[in-house]
Chain A
């Protein structure tokens, strides 16, 4: 009779599978957002675009 160790089995599955991690690149295109405003609502709505690359690698 074998004891099923759920944790070790899950870890083995992760080790054997291709892992995908999301890495945020150092360069991110964005507009400056002023957080410390003396009066709110002064600014206009702004668009921010974030680019990231999924890296593939085995742990």
Chain B
């Protein structure tokens, strides 16, 4: 079970879990008609490195605010979605986006946990990270899909963090997530 911090800080930190975060899919304009398509993710986790986030905060809002050199400013923050484990196992977690996914059997015919399910929850599958939240955290057990990472504007996150903050994964556990994400991104696929 992962350790969670419930204290809110204005600074965006690695491991922060926020609700209802928007990803702009597309914006188009035709003959004066604008169409904006966006996806709202019920929960996302911040994956950007904490040192980068700290520097961005200090130079943008903190002690170094106002400095002309914007070298430390980030353009955006890396996040990944958390999917409800039950939906994920069904393969239905993206059905509202008209996408189907593989389903994972939890129990075999002998009513024992399947190897596939155990690999998932033991975080043996590089692409996914399973989080088992404590009962006092109002968040369903979830799966992070590293392949679905996206970026969010820093100002947007800062403006919405207070209202959308759910909790934050503790240091050791968030570093594990970060390490697994880095490994997944840097993987080399051999034919």
Contact = CB atoms under 8 A, between A and B. Distances in A.
State yes or no: do A and B come from one complex.
yes
Interface of A: 22, 31, 33, 35, 37-56
A40 B138 contact: yes
Contacts, number: 87
A contact patch SS: strand
Interface residues of B, number: 32
Contacts of B41: 45
B80 to A, nearest CB: 12
Contacts of A44: 42, 83-84, 87, 92-96
B97 A47 contact: yes
Contacts of A22: 34
Contact of B140 (A33, A41, A50, A54): A41
B48 interface: no
Contacts of A33: 20, 40
